[in-house]
Amino acid sequence: MADLQAIADALIKGDRNTVVELTQKAIDEGVGPADILEKGLIGGMNVIGARFKNNEVYVPEVLIAARAMHGGMDILEPHLKAGGIEPIGVVVIGTVKGDLHDIGKNLVGMMLQGGGLEVIDAGTDVGPDKFIEAVKNSNARVIAMSALLTTTMPQMPEIIKAVKEAGLDVMTMVGGAPVTQSYADEIGADGYAPDAASAVDKALELVKT
């Protein structure tokens, strides 16, 4: 019987091999990838986040936990992306300039692919120029911006402004732990989603706009 708490515990310890092994075991036993993600990987990362905030762990431990999380996500990726249908539209996704957090952005990207969208990953630390270039190269309909730091959120209105000035016919959506619907409204983003699953609904709505 798959033990999702054991996945969370291994992630908290930064034990990548055990996270990979137990994630694969859970998949083999037929546990849904969304459950493994929520109760195992994200559950463990939330504990690390709380400890980080309380200065009980520091950047090196968080990096090791993030590496373990990526190991588990690599196993889940094909299951989250499953579909193989013709893409409904193109989305350019990136973590905004000054921000290196990529776990949430990667997760949203995988789920968007699972929802039938083509995803161009612009990476982390992405400023207006790189977003604009990626849209021009891909004919994307949506720009999806992620920010995990209150200090990098102000990049979002800068990117929206630059996109408008460049005259691109593209919708913008924002997300990430400190971002809210009211912030999205304030900066004139076309959409906001609090998590990866609702990001799919929002992106699908925007590509059809």
Instruction: Give me the numbers of helices (H) and strands (E) for the chain, helices first please.
Output: 10, 5
Both structure tokens of 52: 């980080």
The residue (of 84 and 193) whose beta carbon lies closer to ligand B1M is: 193
Closest distance between ligand B1M and the C-beta of residue 80, in Å?
A: 11
How near is the Cβ of 120 to ligand B1M at its closest, in Å? Answer: 13
Binding-site ranges for ligand B1M (CB under 6 A): 42, 45-46, 48-49, 52-53, 59, 62-63, 66, 98-105, 107-108, 144-146, 148-151, 173-178, 193, 195-196, 199
* Whole-number Cα distances in Å, 141 to 42, 81, 170, 204: 29, 20, 5, 10
| Residue with smaller CB distance to ligand B1M, 71 or 176 | 176
Judged by beta carbon, residue 120 or residue 148, the one nearer ligand B1M is 148
Buried b (16+ CB within 10 A) or exposed e, 137-159: eeebbbbbbbbbbeebbebbbeb
Count the Cβ atoms, other than its own, within 10 Å of residue 207.
21
Least CB distance to ligand B1M at residue 177 (A): 4
Q: Are 13 and 33 in contact (CB under 8 A)?
A: no
Task: Tell how far CA 69 is from the center of its chain.
Answer: 13
Of 33 and 104, the one with the shorter C-beta distance to ligand B1M is 104
Residue 1 Cβ vs ligand B1M, minimum distance, rounded to whole Å? 25
Nearer to ligand B1M, 49 or 87 (CB): 49
Q: How far is the CB of 204 from ligand B1M (least distance, A)?
A: 12
